[in-house]
Amino acid sequence: MSESSKVSDKKLWEWVRELTGKSETYNKRKYLHEKKEPVYAVMVVDMQERFLKYFRPELKESIIKNQIKVLRHSAENNVPALAVEFEDEGKTITEIYEEIIKNNQYDSVIKKDENAFKTISVLDKLCDWNVTDIFLMGVNASACIRNTAAGARKYGFNVATTIDVIGDDTGMERETYKTINWFYFRNMLKEGKLEDTVLKTLRNNSIYYPSQKSLQQGAGRVS
């Protein structure tokens, strides 16, 4: 067998595994579409120092402060938290990750694309948690956040965010206004004070999640 054939066979099996995984996920999504009661989750995307170091200090501080408010509220209201990190760009900053792991149900996933939903484990994790609605936080708003929101919509998730928990670095801030409009015209943008909009609705009532916290403690972050 030629070397090129071996490579082709290997690639074929990769496709088979990928398609099989997607098929199982699609079945889960079909089930979720039939659910009448929303189940929320918070996604924290690319809150890594590699990206945040290019932000204006006051904007960075404000985003972190507001994300911590949301994460604390989520932990108190049965809303799971998923940290998504860009491959080879470091870990989620300590201030945010320490809040994420206080949640009874949390996880972290590595992605390789601006659209987190091109990473099948992101989709699988949200489906395992029976999530229907995602509150999206992170950076950069005009790149990974926007593309991830579009990816989530394609899979049938409801998506929401607010200008308080997303942003762009100094090189991309000129795009922020257009990105906010993009979210607004797709009914993804929550307006008003964080406490009066997001925190009043972001809660899961009587939802049971099998706790993974004890399994994850001592084992480090989950990739």
Residue-wise pLDDT for 23-78, tens only, equals: 565 555 555 556 567 899 999 999 999 999 999 999 999 999 999 999 999 999 99
How do residues 146-193 score in pLDDT, each as one tens digit?
999 999 999 999 999 999 999 999 999 999 999 999 999 999 999 898
Mean pLDDT of 2-19: 53
Phi-psi region of 88 (alpha: psi -120 to 50; beta: other; left: phi over 0): left
Burial of residue 222 (number of CB atoms within 10 Å: 0-12, 13-18, 19+): middle
Going by DSSP bridges, is the β-strand pair 158-160/106-111 parallel, antiparallel, or unpaired?
A: unpaired
Mean pLDDT of 95-108: 96
CA distance 55 to 191: 23
Q: Domain-by-domain residue ranges, the chain? A: 1-34, 38-216
Sign of CA dihedral 9, 14, 15, 19: positive
- The SS3 assignment for 34 reads coil
Taking residue 215's Cβ as centre, other Cβ atoms within 10 Å add up to 10
Q: What is the pLDDT of residue 150?
A: 97
Looking at 3.30.930.10, 3.40.50.850, 3.40.50.10320, 1.10.1670.10, the CATH number of the domain 38-216 comes to 3.40.50.850
Q: What is the pLDDT of residue 106?
A: 96
Q: What is the pLDDT of residue 201?
A: 86
CA distance 92 to 71: 14
CA distance 101 to 72: 10
DSSP strands (E only) in the chain = 40-45, 81-86, 106-111, 133-139, 158-160, 166-167
